[in-house]
Structure 1
Amino acid sequence: MFKFSRLLVTFLLFIGTLFPYQVRAEDHVTLPPPKEIAGFQLTETPGTWQMGAIPPNVDLSKPPVVFVQGRSRHAQDWWSNTEYHGINDMYELAYNAGYRTVFVHLHDSAGKGTANPYDNGQLIAKSLKEISQHFGQKVNIVAHSKGGVDAQAALVHYNAYPYVGKIVALGAPNYGSHLADMAYSWYASWLTKLVGEQDDGAYSLQTGEMEKFRKQTDHHPNVMKNEYYTTAGTSWGPSGTALWLAGFALSSYGENDGLVNISSTYLPYGNHLFTIPADHDSIRKGSVSFKLMEPVLRNATPTISPKMAFFHQTKQAPAAPIADQSLAGGSLLANQPVEKSISVDAKAASVQVMTKSPDVKVTLQSPSGKMYDKNSSNYVLAKGDELFGDVTDQSFQLKDAEMGNWKVRIQSPSKDAYFLVTTYKDSQGLALELPGQTVTEESPLKVKLDEQKDYNPESIRVDVKLMDSEGKEVKQQPSKIGLPSRKKRELDTLDEYTVPLPTQVKSGLYNVTVQVTGKKKSGTPFERTLVKSVYIGK
């Protein structure tokens, strides 16, 4: 009887693949089983999808699972090599557990830049309708990184919610990424434009742009028609890699997985499924996360009342991150060295120089004259990441560092650009308060000095650069404003200085770069850079 039932199920599934409901057979290709997929040549056409092989132990009581990849990624990332952790066994484990699987192709698959959540969401919505009709039932979604945002756009803004029960987002930047803000800052734009990393997908990940997306999404009537599960990681990946260096830079904003802060993964109406010691690359591996999320995937029926779900998750993205970084950047002319001075006022720091060419020579000199280069033991060479693209990252990890002014010398044999990031560990930082979205012209920018008693207030200078959505500088901003000392209020642990933003600006997304310099009362110089994107308008 058991053998007959299995033959019957196999026959019905075979018939279903021959006569899919409202979906042409030539629109998708069934993949080989996981053990046979090595070397399989996949044709990626945005808007199409591939079915995984039907497992011999298929369980028809389980909804099919649709996998959605992240920015600049491909469908085969669910079964091919990861960046740092070998083969991704997600397809294999889902197959072995009896799940029917489907893999979608987004605009990013075309290799012509990456798309924003709305454009990818429209493609996903079309595919979800076809996939649900093909199987004759609702599906569940597993999405990685920005794929989680793209999938939500499909459900909410393109009315794909009837075809889906649940969505599990692995390390999704639901509130954007501070690395995206940094990539569009005054100092980094020289490099990110050069390497072609300023596209619609990267632009959409700025925190101000994602705040706009959240306002358009979180109170939409469709948002409560599916059940959302969020996840996060706390590892930065292998030491010395681009992912690890990005994680170190992001640590000023809290725990992160190397690209996305934990605070950015939450949704106010979502169910946070797990936070584990995984990095942004490994969290999508089946051996890392499949067992943890598999119980959720067994059915497409919501388990929490929609009325209660909105209040289930209370954690939100932080409003005023502490900045423990200083930034610099600009163009490089052939064989014309650039020398930059950086103030180090912490015992531990990381000095990173990103360039397009790997042939750029970088040296570092301490206040006492000690030289560091690529042969030094604290030198780390890394290549590329998901937000800064195909760049070369040279860094020096400083422990028990000399206090004072250090010199970075950068020389390229050809025309290039550089982005210099100095991250201070366990230092007294600055906080930036800026409204994420405003409908008024007078929106003050507030800079707060932690432990103000250690600074010389009269020495503090602030330089503000405001970039519009086209990457052009808004000229009306204040420049090099001296911030006078004032009496601290009782019980006040932060001294606050207010800098007005320009008035009469057009509605849109702006990137604010704030450079704060000065001296401590000991005479040690300090500098910090605060970067935030903000959507100004109705």
Structure 2
Amino acid sequence: MIRKLIYACVGMFFLLPPLSHAGSFGKDDPSGIPGQWYVGTKPSNVSPSKYPILFIHGLNSSSKTWWNENNMYDTAYQNSYETAFIDLHPTKNMWDNGKLLAGKIRDISNYFGEKVVIVAHSKGGIDAQSALVHYGAFPYVERVITLSAPHYGSQLADLAYSSWAGWLTGIIGSKNDATYSLQTGYMNYFRSKTDYHANAYKNPFYTFGGTKWGSFGSSLYWGGLYLSGYGANDGAVTVNSSKLSYGTELKVGEWNHTTIKEGTSTFHLFKPYLNELYETAGSTIQAKDFVAAASTDLASYTRGGEFTTKQQESFVVEEGVKEITINWISSVPVTELTLKDPTNKPYTSFTIEKDATGYFSNAYHHSLTIQNPQSGQWSLNAESDKLARYLLNITFDSPLLENLKIDLTDKNIKFNTKDSRVQIKTDLMVEYYKNGKLKMGNILIKEGHDGSFKLPKIGEGVYNITIDMIGKLDKQRFQRTMIKTVYIDAAGKVYFNQ
């Protein structure tokens, strides 16, 4: 099948070279310049009852995501739907992209002479809602379908802005307006400004979520493992975050964050919602079949820094751990990486993968899983012939998680345990950001007389909290790290995810 895209900019349209299969555009492939939009070839038998589809990409992506190694564009065409695609800023927040997108939605709707249905992947769903609610684009859209959109943020964004990860994310460019805005505390603030807005309910939202991860060693595998402490997820976004409290959840399926946007994966499921008349009963029943796992929060241990030649990190594994996965994420591939257990037995068979599109894009993941690890102190030795920034994350599959709980209020943080034998000592470090810029770092918070930690209120902005815990269960030591974010507005009101 030969198809084309029409390139649209400043009211002028240009034909791109013919497309024999998704992805083969050659030198005239769409440029990815923010604000430019493209119209797919019009099918010969378009029905008046079918709305045109506007596809919106996500974080660190572009419009190509819908046809490069993806048959979504082909699938829509073969089902006789008119299509449009737009490029947004891949690293800007929902306010900048929402403002840009609003005017383009109007132009695209006017081009087709009718309303469009938006299909948005990942952060594209947040950008779309910003355009509709805050920048007045709602009259041009019939409804919105989101594919794993982080409606309540992502704990991976929290991690990227944490004190341990800052060494790495600052150098690889992951600290940007988009990632900043997807921190869970900031997204709670965005929800408060959006969900009660007069325009919030003028366009119905339909959501999809995923529960699969990528292959071992990939960014989506590690992301899935890290997020597993917060519930079922697709390697980048938890199922709970992919839902919208006043939206309709159509399906939670076995997709990862990439496959959920592929035509063969989800088009047939949201196809009924692309038409003027549609049925909802069947999809509603499907959505109720899934129950998201509860959050355990304290499943990881994290450290980070930089080194020029050699670096050693050590960590403790408590008794009863079923599995640990070590992920050494660095700005360059390390020359040598050796893990040693408490008996000094070495492990060197790390899988190395470059992060392509995640929150740590362009970093290198060095991953290794150990089944039934021996309890005691382990060490990890890294060597590099270049200056290397790194983040070490160790994920534990351990029954200890059932005994720990953290309570976060708008005034303080307090640690509770279900087991009286558990003793913990905790350090809290806060990084304070305003408008995406670090204003104060390494703010150490001391424990109060009541056993709680009082958050400082320095001013409006995001407070990224790193919680490092050392504890004992009977005589067994354990270590954990937890990252939380809150947003405090100009009036001093605190926003955070429970």
Matched, 1:76 2:50: no
Task: Please state how far the C-alpha of 1:155 moved relative to its aligned partner.
Answer: 0.4
Matched, 1:382 2:382: no
CA distance in 1, matches of 2:133, 2:140: 12
SS class of match (2:444):
coil
CA distance in 2, matches of 1:248, 1:31: 42
Whether contact under 8 Å (2:163, 2:442) holds in the other structure is no
SS class of match (2:34):
coil
CA distance in 2, matches of 1:418, 1:27: 46
Task: Please state how far the C-alpha of 1:321 moved relative to its aligned partner.
Answer: 4.5
CA distance in 1, matches of 2:259, 2:181: 23
**Hey, which bits of structure 1, 4+ residues long, moved more than 4 A?**
27-34, 300-304, 315-321, 472-476
Identity %: 35
1:51 corresponds, among 39, 45, 60, to 39
Q: How does 1:55-454 map to 2 (within 5 A)?
A: 55-81=43-69, 88-108=70-90, 114-299=91-276, 321-332=296-307, 334-335=308-309, 337-345=310-318, 346-374=321-349, 379-384=350-355, 385-429=357-401, 430-435=404-409, 438=410, 443-449=411-417, 451-454=418-421
Task: Please state how far the C-alpha of 1:46 moved relative to its aligned partner.
Answer: 1.4
CA distance in 1, matches of 2:292, 2:193: 17
Tell me the alpha carbon deviations over residues 54-90 of structure 1, each in whole angstroms, 9 at most, x when there is no partner. Answer: 1122223211000000111111110112xxxxxx110
SS class of match (1:525):
strand
CA distance in 1, matches of 2:420, 2:137: 55
Counterpart code for 1:414: K
Task: Please state how far the C-alpha of 1:238 moved relative to its aligned partner.
Answer: 2.1
CA distance in 2, matches of 1:322, 1:359: 29
CA distance in 1, matches of 2:136, 2:365: 42
CA distance in 2, matches of 1:227, 1:348: 43
Structure 1 stretch displaced more, 407-416 or 225-234: 407-416
> Unaligned stretches of 5+ in structure 2?
1-5, 494-498
SS class of match (1:428):
helix
Task: Please state how far the C-alpha of 1:528 moved relative to its aligned partner.
Answer: 0.8
Task: Please state how far the C-alpha of 1:400 moved relative to its aligned partner.
Answer: 1.2
CA distance in 2, matches of 1:205, 1:408: 31
Task: Please state how far the C-alpha of 1:362 moved relative to its aligned partner.
Answer: 1.6
Tell me the alpha carbon deviations over residues 136-170 of structure 1, each in whole angstroms, 9 at most, x when there is no partner. Answer: 11110000000011001000000000000110000
Counterpart code for 1:268: S
Q: How many residue pairs were aligned?
A: 470
Counterpart code for 2:85: F
CA distance in 1, matches of 2:97, 2:148: 18
Counterpart code for 2:134: H
SS class of match (1:500):
strand
Whether contact under 8 Å (1:232, 1:265) holds in the other structure is yes
SS class of match (1:465):
strand
Matched, 1:466 2:430: yes
Superposed CA RMSD: 2.7
Whether contact under 8 Å (2:117, 2:141) holds in the other structure is yes
Whether contact under 8 Å (1:67, 1:142) holds in the other structure is yes
- TM-score if structure 2 supplies the norm length? 0.88
SS class of match (1:414):
coil
More strand by share: 2
SS class of match (1:59):
coil
Tell me the alpha carbon deviations over residues 248-267 of structure 1, each in whole angstroms, 9 at most, x when there is no partner. Answer: 11111110001100000111
Task: Please state how far the C-alpha of 1:383 moved relative to its aligned partner.
Answer: 1.5
- TM-score if structure 1 supplies the norm length? 0.82
CA distance in 2, matches of 1:124, 1:61: 25
SS class of match (1:330):
strand
- Shift in CA distance, 36/397, structure 1 to aligned 2, threshold 3 Å: closer
Matched, 1:500 2:468: no
Whether contact under 8 Å (1:30, 1:53) holds in the other structure is no
Whether contact under 8 Å (1:145, 1:171) holds in the other structure is yes
Counterpart code for 1:204: S
CA distance in 2, matches of 1:411, 1:36: 42
Whether contact under 8 Å (2:272, 2:278) holds in the other structure is no
- Shift in CA distance, 219/393, structure 1 to aligned 2, threshold 3 Å: same
